[in-house]
Structure 1
Amino acid sequence: MFSAPSRRYVWLAAVAVVSAAPVSVWAQQDSGSSQDPAPPAQTRALRGPRAQVQSVTVGADDYGPVLEIVTTRPLTPEIQTVQNPLRLVIDLPNSNLATTKHRIAFRNEQIKGIRINQYQTDPAVSRVVVDLNGPVRYTWDASGTRLHIRIRGDQAATAKPPSVPALTAGVQPTAVPVAVGSSGTLVETGSRVASGSSITAGAETAIMRL
């Protein structure tokens, strides 16, 4: 008489246990994904197809030397100035060297020489180093797969401070002997009267500023 309700209770308990298991599994999966965030945009870009650095040449425009880097894919360079010794470092992320030329014998007022190498292989980074004679300013622009770095001498950093003119001693006034009671005497302004002398202004006495 009481067996039917007992079987119904057991069946409901089994359903509750089975349905609870998937909830636990999904919670574990969500917890794991929160600890493994997506890589940053720069890291994802480095995992794409690599560019090949086909050539590095140097030319000039009306204002100074221009470095041209030709690659198989458009690149965004990372450029910095490094001291001791002074040089301009141009990193090309996600790229491999396809050129066998590792030095460019170019010299001018700003540049001593140019070096090219494979700085890293994983992640791949090609590097161009411009050895400098002094401080420079630079700009860069890209047209398709051609990258241009324009180098200018930093005149503000190399300008010499203005020289201070030397001071010369002023002209000392001279003592002018004057006879007492004399008339028609001409005395220059700034002159000193000799000791024991005096000037008596008369009708014919004048003091002029020369």
Structure 2
Amino acid sequence: MELDDLKKSWNILDERLQKDHLINEEKLAKAISEYKKNTKSGIKRLATWQKISITIGVIFIPLIILLWVVLPSAICSHEYKKPITALCIFFSLTIIAGIGWDFKTYLWTHNTKIDEMPILLVAKRMNKFSQWMKYEVIAISVWTVAFTGLYYWVMKLYSHSLVFQIFIVSLLAIIDIFIIYIVYKKLIYNNLNNIKKNIDELKELNSAEIPNKTEEA
């Protein structure tokens, strides 16, 4: 009788352990699915922003070319023709280079498939993308300095009082810093930080999943 009770107790305990094991596996699978979904959404948002940037660039190229053709001939004063031409060349080269760079980074994010790639490869690709964004911020910062200098020359700010020059240059710097902060902090780096968090969680969950499979084997 005691042996039967003991067997019954062991069976109940075994059933409970199996049930707990299934529940833990379901929770693990659900968590992995959730973090994958969040990572995929973050990458998709980055790709969408880059698509928008490329589209804006493509729209602006013919407008800049039109201004380049029309404005110099429409301006009577010869002294303004060179500055206007310089501005058009500056913006044309900027937009072309920007489209090329955005297309490269867009393909990188678009081809980062969280459902098809190992999580370590996704992490590696996102780290590289993050490094590219640092280069982009540096390039944009250099561009703003170049644009401010060009604007200073085109608008002949040097002919105004020193106080006015300082005011205009400071205002341009504040606007540039604000735009860079909004674009890169809010649209790029916030997404990258969320992606990194989800990838880190996926790494931990995957490492927890491997020992479970080993135990089952």
Q: Same fold (TM over 0.5)?
A: no
Higher relative contact order (CA 8 A, sep 6+): 2
For the pair shown, the structure with the greater C-alpha radius of gyration is 1
* TM-score of the superposed pair, with normalisation by structure 1: 0.32
More strand by share: 1
* TM-score of the superposed pair, with normalisation by structure 2: 0.31
More helix by share: 2
